[in-house]
Amino acid sequence: MKRFLSYLVIVLVFPFSAQAAIPETTKDSLLFGVNEGTAGQKDFGEMQGRYKALADYLAKSINKPVKLESSQNLKSSSSNLAKGRYALFFSKPANVAAKAIRDQNYQLVAMAKGEFTVKFIVNANSPLKKPEDIKGKRIALAKGTFMERAGMAELRDRNLVPAADKIQAAKFQDAIEFIVEKGFADVGMVSPIVAKSWVAKGGSVLFESRKMPFWSLIASPDMSKDDVIKIQSTLVNMENSDEGRKLLEKLGVKGFVPGSQKEYLDLQIWLEKT
């Protein structure tokens, strides 16, 4: 009887757990995953609305329903990519797309125009004047983000990896400006967007990392070549129509280019280098 009651409790408390990993993509509908990373605090509803417009835009190009699933959990998105759950996936953290391209044979459809670098910010009156000056100094970073991963890879190449007790960890990038401004850290490791805000308020960028590929949209290896070509063409030509330009502005993207899959594979090699 006790065993039966225990089983009943499990069923009542976790009634849908066995269904959570079932792919929702069918031959008539494509599941479109989106992850903007965990660098900042996002309004989930606003993010969902922004990418729903993109999902609908892509659906028209291939004449198939595209179902959106946005997330701020990188582990969850990476797990779903590993299972091949997504037909399409848009990622701001370039390493998430790079790993899926390498390990699950996802294919690069298009890359947002631009390039990504990690910026190392300091106060305007900082005595630090060149990269070597940060040795032994306190560095603020957003734990578990692509910025941390790429920034530490850059410091590794420069032989400037900080000791564990010199790292000031934050959950979100939004906090790093405050940490550096108030003197709780000497240097902050941030994205170009945060660095732009920092400089506008009078701060300085001491140096930046190597240039990396930008945000990308990738497709499952099971997606038809015809659909991949149609989606790529749709993305690349967005800037040529009023509707497309409005959507690009909403996404915060200048435009899309076909991009180079090799850039993402090279990025993953660099990140994993020891």
pLDDT at 27: 54
Angle at which helices 225-236 and 44-62 cross, to 10°: 120
Confidence of residue 74 (pLDDT cuts 50, 70, 90): confident
pTM score, whole prediction: 0.83
- Kind and range of the H or E element at 216? strand 216-219
- Kind and range of the H or E element at 195? helix 192-200
What is the pairing mode between strands 66-71 and 30-35?
Answer: parallel
pLDDT in tens, 79-107: 999 999 999 999 988 999 999 999 999 99
SS3 state at 58 = helix
Rounded distance, CA 124 to CA 116, Å? 23
Cα-only R_g, the chain: 21
pLDDT at 47: 76
Give the domain ranges of the chain.
29-115+213-272, 119-208
User: Is the separation of the CB atoms in 92 and 84 below 8 Å?
Assistant: no
29-115+213-272 — its CATH code? 3.40.190.10
Give me 128's structure tokens: 């630090």
Fold annotation for 119-208: D-Maltodextrin-Binding Protein; domain 2 (3.40.190)
Asked, colleague to colleague, whether 29-115+213-272 and 119-208 share their fold, the answer is yes
Rounded distance, CA 96 to CA 104, Å? 11
Find the mean pLDDT for residues 225-238: 96
Give me 117's structure tokens: 């670098």
13: left (phi over 0), alpha (psi -120 to 50) or beta: alpha
Question: Of 271, 251, 263, which is closest to residue 52 (Cα–Cα)?
Answer: 251
pLDDT at 19: 32
